[in-house]
Structure 1
Amino acid sequence: MTRADLGKDPRDVSAMFDRVAARYDRTNAVLSVGNAALWRVATTKAIAPKPGERILDVAAGTGTSSASLAKSGASVVAADFSPGMIEVGRRRQAHVPNLVFVEADAMKLPFGDADFDAVTISFGLRNVKEPKVALAEFLRVTKPGGRLVVCEFSHPPVGVVRAGYDFYQKVVMPPLVKLSSSNDDAYDYLNESINAWPDQPTLAGWIRESGWADVAWRNLTAGIVALHRARKPLTGAVAAPVE
């Protein structure tokens, strides 16, 4: 198995990411035409980590986003279900003292209730077999009043941008993958998973249905990526309508 499919069997997805771990960050930088760094900055600002906070970064991969969060002084747990990703991450982020890596399934997190001030996941929720189960788990491990930030590929609302992005995925992306990735077949799944992923309002609805409040999103790079935000209610309050 060199790639997963839209059935998203956890073993297949984990094995696929094991195989791309060594060149994962470089491939992301190439395929995003440098935008990956900008998306990471936007995500970090949305999380707004503070010294002394405890933050969970799910599907953290090699910990690049986790290290960005840890610069604030917060204690960061980088969770991923790919042993290969964790191995690379521990080696690359060994200099970050307030960052630890944990092998974990997003649908069954090995943490107690209300353990974290904030939970975030970047470009990983669409790889989870049951995203709504994961969103409920994120809520469980977050403190009342705590924050959720989901950064994920989405659907550009403007037709001309959608057409351009479709051309990029079908024509430009394949040769770039062959040049930069250690497993170009795995990136066929990348396109499939992006195209099958729901749009911004639908994901916002999933988040709200999972019990999160103050659900909102904003588009990055014309909607190719969307940054969703929410808070865990202090009580049993009903979530607010999405913007």
Structure 2
Amino acid sequence: MTRASLDKQPHEVAAMFDDVAAKYDLTNDVLSLGQARLWRKAVARAVAARPGEKVLDLAAGTGTSSMPFTADGAYVVPCDFSVGMLREGKKRHPWLPLTAGDATRLPFADDVFDAVTISFGLRNVQETDTALRELLRVTKPGGRVVICEFSHPTWAPFRTVYTEYLMRALPPVATAVSSNPDAYVYLAESIRAWPDQAALAARLQQAGWSKVAWRNLTGGVVALHRGIKHAA
């Protein structure tokens, strides 16, 4: 079994997700107490893909997160650097143009996509700021980014309960439902170490995104960040 460390070496992270690919979506539904599906719906509303638009879904895994964009009539490119996840996605959605790619060196030309989005994947990228600049590079002027990522609950008593869940309850639940429970120990640690809402917004702005804003989901357990690429 494989788990990554918090220095997020790319080969360790990719191998970890290769290990959990088969049960990844089921495990997420269980560990999030069913909230994962609601979060995906919130992302789809925030992206607001229109027919004919090109959408990059980065860290798409098995392609589950890409399905709402295809339903809206957009041309979506699911991209991930875990070959195991992509292979599992190809079994389930053989028509999707699943693409292998590193968030810090995206295999796309400049100014291609109307919208770019990444859900629960930015936290796993070793060079976060490089990835944010790469997302900007491949987005058309006037295009938009939506980032859905675990964040920091805003109500202190709830934050305490949530931290206890992450460090105490999550590992045994993962042992019951996941093919690689150790990967979910990394998940808990990486969530605790991730910047809060305002800090991530600042990093988006520093990467060149404008009109950056966020809103909390599930009391700040998750945050949706949005930004616009300034039109030339």
State yes or no: 1:26 paired with 2:59.
no
TM-score (normalizing by structure 1) = 0.94
Whole-Å separation in 1 of the counterparts to 2:171 and 2:106: 34
Whole-Å separation in 1 of the counterparts to 2:68 and 2:144: 17
Structure 2 residue ranges without an equivalent (≥5)? none
TM-score (normalizing by structure 2) = 0.98
CA contact (8 A) 2:17 2:84 kept: yes
Whole-Å separation in 2 of the counterparts to 1:172 and 1:188: 10
User: Residues 46-87 of structure 1, C-alpha deviation per residue, up to 9 Å, x if partnerless?
Assistant: 000011000000000011111121111100000000000000
Q: Size of the alignment, in residue pairs?
A: 232
Paired residue type of 1:50: R
Whole-Å separation in 2 of the counterparts to 1:70 and 1:131: 27
Instruction: Provide the residue aligned with 1:123 in structure 2.
Output: 120
SS of equivalent residue, structure 1 residue 121: strand
Instruction: Provide the residue aligned with 2:212 in structure 1.
Output: 215
Report deviation, 1:170. 2.2
User: Residues 174-197 of structure 1, C-alpha deviation per residue, up to 9 Å, x if partnerless?
Assistant: 221011100001111001110110
Instruction: Provide the residue aligned with 1:225 in structure 2.
Output: 222
Paired residue type of 2:3: R
Instruction: Provide the residue aligned with 2:88 in structure 1.
Output: 88
Paired residue type of 1:42: A
Instruction: Provide the residue aligned with 1:13 in structure 2.
Output: 13
Q: CA RMSD in A?
A: 0.8
CA contact (8 A) 1:67 1:93 kept: no
For 1:18-57, what aligned pairs fall within 5 Å after superposition? 18-57=18-57
Whole-Å separation in 1 of the counterparts to 2:41 and 2:131: 24
Whole-Å separation in 1 of the counterparts to 2:18 and 2:153: 30
Identity %: 57
Q: Which of residues 182, 189, 193 is equivalent to 1:192?
A: 189
Runs of 4+ residues deviating >3 angstroms = none
Instruction: Provide the residue aligned with 1:108 in structure 2.
Output: 105
State yes or no: 1:154 paired with 2:151.
yes
Whole-Å separation in 2 of the counterparts to 1:105 and 1:64: 19
SS of equivalent residue, structure 2 residue 97: strand
Instruction: Provide the residue aligned with 2:76 in structure 1.
Output: 76
Report deviation, 1:169. 1.2
State yes or no: 1:170 paired with 2:180.
no
